[in-house]
Chain A
Amino acid sequence: MKNNLIPAIRLTLVCLVFFCGLYTLAVWAVAQLSPGQGKGLVITENGKNYHFNVGQSFTSDQYFWSRPSAVAYDAAASGGSNYGPTNPDHLAEVQQRINHFLEHNPSIDKSEIPSELVTASGSGLDPHISVQAALVQVKRIARARGLTENSLLQLVEKHTEKPLLGLFGTERINVLKLNLGLDKL
């Protein structure tokens, strides 16, 4: 043990310099060349900045709603609900979200509501919804904004992000980008 202690301490210090220090600085230096300089991906609209890969809460009738969040889209304390699949509180909460949705979208049949629109994401910051989740909101937004459904359907299609290379993963829509587009219609 004694023979090992001094080398162990010295080796630890060397590792500290290399892996905490130089490795971190090297990645930081590369980040300066990247979009956003490692400070987050930001888009600017009307002079205001938004992080487009961090979800925002949308609950008013004029906007496409984002998914429910267990942390109210607090990006400084992200997290999921951690409700188990059989938890009665969880199921009651989902039922309540379904009722709330139907109240605001009376022309939609319950069977058209996709579950991701009434369940909370893992991070509480999910920036995306599915295409179906956008489509079921079109009628409500058309009425609230006095727009044609057709123009909204086009907007949804324009903002649909295909799976990676068209082959891998899910189809999705960035809610913030969709709503920024909506404001421009």
Chain B
Amino acid sequence: MNTEILGVVLMYATVVALAIPLGRYIGKIFNYENTWLDKIFNPLDRLFFKLSGIDPSKEMNWKQHLAALLTTNAVWFVLSLFVLSNMSWLPLNPDKNPSMSWDLAFNTSVSFVSNTNLQHYSGETGLSYMGQLILMLWQFISAATGIAICAVVFNAMKERTTHELGNFYSYFVRACTRILLPIAFAGAVILVFNGTPMTFEGKDSLTTLEGAEQHISRGPAAAFVSIKQLGTNGGGYYGPNSSNPMENPNYLTNILETIFIFLIPIALVFAMGYVLKRRKLALMVYGVMTAGFLCLVIPAIYYEMNGNPAIAEMGIAQDMGSMEGKEVRFGSAASAYWAINTTSTSNGSVNAMHDSMTPLTGMFAMIGMMVNSFYGGVGVGFINFYIFIILAVFIGGLMVGRTPEFLGKKVEAKEVKIAMIIALLHPLMILGGTALASFLYAGNPEVYEGWLKNPGFHGFSEMLYEFSSSSANNGSGFEGLGDNTPFWNLATGLVMLLARYLPIIGPVAIAGILASKKFIPESAGTLKTDTSTFGILIFAVIAIVAALAFFPALTLGPLAEYFSLY
């Protein structure tokens, strides 16, 4: 078998093999069961709570959880704004990089606090080491925020009637110290030993073999890269992210970094099965997510490995596939595989330039972000999927003429209304934003000339991709877009803000309301939700919502480009 394909198979098999035991471990953490790491982490957690003045045993209802989440995130945003606007005089700036403009600092702060990591700057020139490290902090704790709130939803799904859903800070600290920290540290060590820089010295200068001068940006990259992959953050240390040979030096590190993208999102599905003691339900969710992922990734790999027809026409060989924007050490299969990994979760790191991929691969990447729950971001991926479960329960209930119930709780008008608003918010922001940008561009192409690097259909795709990425809290881009302008900084900043917090508030509200309802034991009249039939129903709901909302826009961009090329 082709070694490139074999590499992809290895990556998927390994991540699932690791995610199953990790899911069990995460389940134990959220259930407050003993694990073998308690000896280290119990005292560490106590230290965190003591220094923060927090009582981790205080139970919170769903509104208190949200208040705690929003307050911490607001504090981070303010601190981030301050650091990014003052980097030039703050310490750890050996390359003398400047501070950010106000609109860029706003965009970058929202971007990292919201776990998006959309980057309108380039790491080598746009950040000091202080700036990089503060962004790394958000990569840890924004990921922990997602995991913590996911734990709240798991807790609310248990079979009982209650308002008390655990303590937000406790889940948050446990996610930080017991899940993210050890895995990120192990990953960083592997990266360092494969050549990823980890130094506080500035640029290195050398003369190349042909006699040219070359400057090499360095810094504390390994620590940063590991957590950016693990926490579905995705913001690169260097401008071109993990395509840069220092950020991702060889095929082994590429395997590691690819595995880190999926590891926690898949593990959380199994963790849900463990927490609720509903293995079948977890398998159903995993099955639906995997089916969706495979529908995107298989054709993407096929098209990238087959190359660009416009280049084939020139009469040269394309044995490696479409290589513009890709690295020889990864090849097109591993690049296409990463592209769909990173967009179907909300990671957004890249190891090849998405803008240069063949039209349909670009479209599959966009669909991954438009659905945003084929595994999805850490924590938030599952709660996006939860919305689709609620909608499927409602539709299924109507179809068979029974009261819609999910895990022994009646799903009523209020919950369905919230679910519908959240499900429609995402298309609204993507399509509304793209429509606004297209309107501006079409009305005044000279003024906005710098926006689009590519003409025609592909130019439209660049704008559609940018808003999809912002609204999915993804952070990857069709980077030909000239996006460091006040319009793009503010528009995508607002979209990221709304698209992070509303889809957290909605599902937590639904889960909280359902948790406080009377528990009705399963009977013969219950619509079973852990069957493959129900899985197909969820898949159909996802496909119909995505198709109805996005098909017209995709027709104008990647599909039109496809038909002009093939």
A positions within 8 Å CB-CB of B = 1, 4-16, 18-20, 23-24, 26-28, 30-31, 34-41, 48-51, 53-60, 63, 67, 73-88, 90-91, 94-95, 98, 110-116, 118-130, 132, 163-164, 166-172, 176, 179-180, 183
Contacts and interface: CB of A to CB of B under 8 A. Distances in A.
Contacts of B244: 78, 123, 125
A167 B6 contact: yes
A78 B239 contact: yes
B136 A19 contact: yes
Given A23-B184, A60-B210, A81-B356, A5 B141 contact: no
A50 B310 CA distance: 37
A104 to B, nearest CB: 15
Given A5-B71, A12-B75, A164 B319 contact: no
A112 B318 CA distance: 10
B325 interface: yes
Given A40-B195, A50-B206, 14 more contacts: A4-B72, A27-B188, A40-B204, A40-B218, A53-B195, A86-B565, A114-B316, A116-B326, A121-B323, A122-B335, A127-B245, A130-B319, A171-B3, A176-B209
A126 to B, nearest CB: 5
B375 interface: no
Interface in B342-401: 350-353, 355-359
21 contacts: A4-B72, A11-B173, A12-B72, A20-B136, A34-B198, A55-B245, A80-B324, A80-B356, A86-B458, A87-B453, A91-B310, A98-B314, A115-B316, A115-B322, A116-B326, A123-B244, A132-B319, A169-B4, A169-B254, A170-B331, A183-B209
Contacts of A163: 3, 7, 251
Contacts of A114: 316-320
Contacts of A170: 3-4, 251, 320, 328-331
B212 interface: yes
A18 B182 CA distance: 12
B450 interface: no
A31 B198 contact: yes
Contact of B453 (A41, A83, A121): A83
Given A27-B185, A75-B216, A76-B217, A121 B79 contact: no
A105 to B, nearest CB: 13
B199 interface: yes
B320 A115 contact: yes
B210 A57 contact: yes
B159 interface: no
Contacts of A83: 324-325, 355-356, 453-454, 480
A123 B239 CA distance: 8
B324 A58 contact: no
A116 B54 CA distance: 56
A94 B453 CA distance: 17
A168 to B, nearest CB: 4
A67 B329 CA distance: 12
Contacts of B307: 115
A78 B310 contact: no
Interface residues of B, number: 120
B124 interface: yes
Contacts of A111: 315-317
Nearest to A93: B324
A53 B246 contact: yes
Contacts of B548: none
Given A170-B330, A172-B328, A85 B223 contact: no
B238 interface: yes
A80 B353 contact: yes
B216 to A, nearest CB: 4
B464 interface: no
Given A40-B246, A84-B480, A10 B51 contact: yes
Nearest to A128: B328
Given A57-B212, A85-B565, A87-B455, A122 B238 contact: no
Contacts of B330: 169-170
A77 B329 contact: no
A129 B351 CA distance: 17
Interface string B226-268: 1000000000001110011110011110110000000000000
B7 A85 contact: no
Nearest to A136: B317
Nearest to B195: A41
Given A85-B357, A130-B320, A121 B328 contact: yes
Given A23-B223, A113-B317, A14 B48 contact: yes
B54 A19 contact: no
A53 B245 contact: yes
B328 A15 contact: no
B63 to A, nearest CB: 11
Q: 5 closest A-B pairs (Cβ-Cβ)?
A: A122-B243, A38-B198, A82-B480, A84-B458, A31-B198
B414 interface: no
B113 to A, nearest CB: 11
A84 B140 contact: no
Nearest to B200: A28
Contacts of A113: 316-317
Given A24-B133, A56-B214, A172-B329, A81 B67 contact: no
Nearest to B214: A75
Contacts of B124: 76-78
Nearest to A162: B3
A31 B240 contact: no
Contacts of B539: none
Given A83-B356, A130-B328, A164 B195 contact: no
Nearest to B457: A86
B57 interface: no
A122 B198 contact: no
Contacts of B255: 164, 168
B243 A123 contact: yes
A171 B322 CA distance: 16
Contacts of B68: 4, 8
A7 B140 contact: no
Interface string B97-119: 00000000000000000000000
A181 B359 CA distance: 40
Contacts of A40: 195, 197, 204, 216, 218, 246
B137 A121 contact: no
Nearest to B458: A84
B208 A19 contact: no
A54 B245 contact: yes
